[in-house]
Amino acid sequence: MKKLTLTFITTVFCIPLIFITTTVLSGGHEATKLIKDFFISTFAL
């Protein structure tokens, strides 16, 4: 059970990190908006 929680937390933090890294490298404002929407929808749940 603890391992599952750890995996979930890692996934939740890694996916946005990948998105942010991609955004910084591409420098796109559209991607930034997508990340913001992603965070809002994720934490709204």
User: How many domains are contained in the chain?
Assistant: 1
Using one digit for the tens of pLDDT, what is the confidence trace for 3-43?
A: 888 888 888 888 888 877 877 777 767 767 777 888 788 77
- Supply the DSSP symbol for 15: H
Q: Which domain holds residue 38?
A: 1-44
Cα–Cα distance measured from residue 36 to residue 9, given in angstroms and rounded to the nearest whole number:
18
Please tell me the number of Cα atoms within 13 Å of 45 on its side-chain side.
6
Q: What pTM does this model have?
A: 0.40
pLDDT at 45: 61
